[in-house]
């Protein structure tokens, strides 16, 4: 039987040379590390400034317990400031069943197109989740009771009912323009 030992010798020589090279590299890197550690240890330690002294807060005893509490009203007592209430007859229909697009703020909706079929115009509106809805005049959308009044090729017009700040409501026109980001 003949044995070819040349590949074995080549593998062994390669392993020995690799070990020698790695050992040589290790010593150089370790010397640098030891020098750095010795340098850092030989530095003079810095001084940490002490924390500032915390001054105690002076306590206060509330002695006006026999006076009226400014944060509550007694039964039957009216607030001193009279507000002018506005009642122009405009109110949202709270008994009406809400439509799907009323869950989204108007600025999060995008008009993406229109459809026309049998002389009826439909608007196509995309929600922020990517769902496309088909709408017509008198549908509602937005969180301010927005009723769609007209669907045009480049926009959807609606009337919103918003609080006027005096316990009443006002109608405000709004529109949703055709989106350019398609």
pTM above 0.75, yes or no: no
Q: Is residue 53 part of a domain?
A: no
Task: Report the distance separating Cα 39 and Cα 24, nearest Å.
Answer: 23
Out of 23-32, 50-59, 81-90, 121-130, give the one with best mean pLDDT: 121-130
| Least confident range of 1-10, 14-23, 96-105 | 1-10
CATH of the domain at 111: 2.30.30.830
User: Residue 97: what pLDDT?
Assistant: 92
Q: Please tell me the predicted confidence (pLDDT) of residue 80.
A: 55
- The answer to whether position 116 is within a domain reads yes
Domain housing 149: 100-177
- Please state the rounded mean pLDDT for residues 62-78: 70
Q: What is the mean pLDDT of residues 10-14?
A: 80
Q: Are 112 and 102 in contact (CB under 8 A)?
A: no
Distance CA 172, CA 79 (A): 31
In a domain, 146, yes or no: yes
In a domain, 95, yes or no: no
25: three-class secondary structure by DSSP: helix
Position 124 scores a pLDDT of 93
pLDDT (average), residues 138-146: 93
Q: Is residue 113 in a domain?
A: yes
Q: Look at residue 56 and tell me if it is in a domain.
A: no
Structure-token pair, residue 80: 């001193």
pLDDT band of residue 51 (cuts 50, 70, 90) is confident
Burial class (CB in 10 A: 0-12, 13-18, 19+), 19: exposed
Distance (Å, whole) CA 73 – CA 60: 25
**Total tally of structural domains belonging to the chain:** 1
Do the domain assignments include residue 82? no
In a domain, 34, yes or no: no
């Amino acid at each position: 039987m003949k044995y070819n030992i040349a590949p074995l010798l080549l593998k062994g020589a390669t392993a020995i040379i690799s070990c020698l090279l790695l050992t040589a590299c290790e010593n150089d890197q370790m010397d640098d590390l030891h020098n750095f550690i010795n340098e850092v240890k030989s530095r003079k330690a810095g001084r940490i400034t002490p924390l500032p002294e915390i001054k105690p807060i002076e306590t206060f005893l509330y002695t006006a317990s026999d006076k009226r509490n400014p944060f509550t009203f007694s039964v039957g007592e009216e607030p001193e400031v009279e507000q002018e209430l506005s009642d122009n007859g405009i109110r949202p229909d709270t008994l009406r069943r809400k439509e799907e697009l009323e869950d989204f703020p108007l600025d999060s909706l995008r008009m993406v197109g229109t459809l026309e079929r049998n002389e009826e115009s439909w608007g196509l509106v995309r929600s922020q989740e990517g769902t496309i809805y088909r709408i017509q005049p008198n549908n509602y959308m937005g969180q301010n009771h927005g009723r769609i009044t007209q669907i045009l090729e480049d926009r959807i017009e609606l009337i919103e009912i918003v609080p006027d700040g005096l316990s009443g409501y006002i109608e405000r026109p709004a529109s949703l323009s055709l989106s350019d980001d398609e």
